[in-house]
């Protein structure tokens, strides 16, 4: 009787746990959806490119104190404050989300060595990118929020040089490592087309060796992230269509 009671009522006890586990898996799949990675990557690329193009408009090299004061005391400071203090940081946040979702999609297939370099280089890139924004935006923040006078030519040159070092010398090297690691993981797992992975290797080489000579080279990185995001979205759409047509 006891055995019959266990057989009869045992499955009914296990059903709630199985239902909870299934729901947890469904929620995890939704949070780690390729669509989230694709959207985050495109948002990062768009915000990065827009911020870069707008923030290039600064006083030219060799500007006098009067020219620098005129630049910062007019409407330019408002535009720069909006872009550098409000818009550009969201590019870094979107990139962190892109990294997190990609890592979640790799899951159990990830290699610990490459996963560590992948995560570390992504976080390091965002930290250095924020450092460049902080260096370039310190003058704007001081003028707009603290009522400071316009910077002297020496202060302006130092702030711009510090921002340049953070972005072009260090952040782009971290981006090169990130690109190379993502390309390697893509080849090992088949997550991306082989041609896109090889383009990533070429881009990593350019960022390592040539970004200091041509400033426009930095735009190659967000363009590559956007290309990866578009491929992820297209593949996700194809998989969704295949699931819907499966009898």
Per-residue pLDDT reduced to its tens digit, 32-75: 456 777 888 999 999 999 888 877 777 777 788 888 888 877 75
Task: Look at residue 11 and tell me if it is in a domain.
Answer: no
Task: Look at residue 167 and tell me if it is in a domain.
Answer: yes
Is residue 186's pLDDT more than 70? yes
Task: Look at residue 29 and tell me if it is in a domain.
Answer: no
Question: Which of the residue ranges 148-152, 202-206, 213-217 has the most confident prediction, judged by mean pLDDT?
Answer: 202-206
Other CB atoms within a 10 A radius of the CB of residue 165 amount to 15
Task: Look at residue 183 and tell me if it is in a domain.
Answer: yes
Is residue 88's pLDDT more than 90? no
Lowest-confidence region among 17-21, 70-74, 155-159: 17-21
Task: Look at residue 45 and tell me if it is in a domain.
Answer: yes
| Average pLDDT rounded to a whole number, residues 117-126 | 93
pLDDT confidence of residue 4: 42
Q: What percent of the chain has pLDDT over 70?
A: 76
pLDDT confidence of residue 200: 94
Task: Look at residue 20 and tell me if it is in a domain.
Answer: no
pLDDT confidence of residue 43: 93
Comparing 56 with 241, the larger pLDDT belongs to: 56
Give the confidence band of 237 by pLDDT, cuts at 50, 70, 90.
low
In the predicted model, what is the mean pLDDT of the chain? Answer: 77
Is residue 200 within 8 A of residue 161, CB to CB? The reply is no
- Residue matched to tokens 């310190």: 138
Give the confidence band of 171 by pLDDT, cuts at 50, 70, 90.
very high
Other CB atoms within a 10 A radius of the CB of residue 175 amount to 29
Task: Look at residue 190 and tell me if it is in a domain.
Answer: yes
Provide the domain limits for residue 236.
38-245
Q: In total, how many domains does the chain have? A: 1
pTM for this model (two decimals): 0.78
Going 185 to 190 to 196 to 202, the CA torsion angle's sign is: positive
Give 15's contacts (C-beta < 8 A, 6+ positions apart).
Answer: none
Is residue 12's pLDDT more than 50? no
How far apart CA 159 and CA 182 sit, in angstroms, is 33
pLDDT confidence of residue 2: 40
């Amino acid at each position: 009787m006891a055995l019959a009671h266990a057989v009869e009522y045992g499955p009914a006890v296990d059903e709630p746990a199985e239902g909870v586990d299934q729901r947890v898996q469904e929620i995890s799949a939704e949070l780690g959806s390729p669509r989230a990675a694709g959207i985050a990557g495109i948002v990062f690329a768009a915000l990065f490119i827009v911020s870069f193009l707008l923030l290039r408009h600064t006083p030219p090299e060799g500007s006098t104190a009067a020219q620098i004061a005129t630049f910062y005391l007019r409407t330019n400071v408002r535009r720069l404050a909006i872009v550098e203090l409000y818009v550009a940081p969201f590019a870094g946040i979107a990139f962190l989300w892109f990294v997190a979702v990609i890592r979640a999609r790799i899951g159990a297939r990830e290699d610990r060595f490459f996963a560590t370099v992948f995560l570390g280089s992504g976080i390091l890139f965002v930290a250095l990118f924020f450092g460049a924004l902080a260096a370039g935006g310190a003058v704007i923040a001081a003028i707009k929020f603290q009522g400071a006078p316009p910077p002297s030519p020496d202060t302006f040159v130092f702030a711009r040089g510090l921002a340049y070092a953070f972005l072009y010398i260090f952040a782009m090297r971290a981006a090169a490592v990130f690109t190379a690691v993502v390309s390697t993981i893509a080849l090992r797992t088949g997550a991306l087309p082989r041609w896109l992975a090889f383009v990533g290797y070429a881009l990593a080489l350019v960022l390592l060796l040539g970004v200091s000579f041509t400033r426009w080279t930095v735009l190659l990185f967000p363009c590559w992230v956007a290309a990866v995001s578009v491929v992820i979205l297209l593949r996700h759409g194809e998989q969704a269509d295949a699931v819907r047509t499966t009898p």
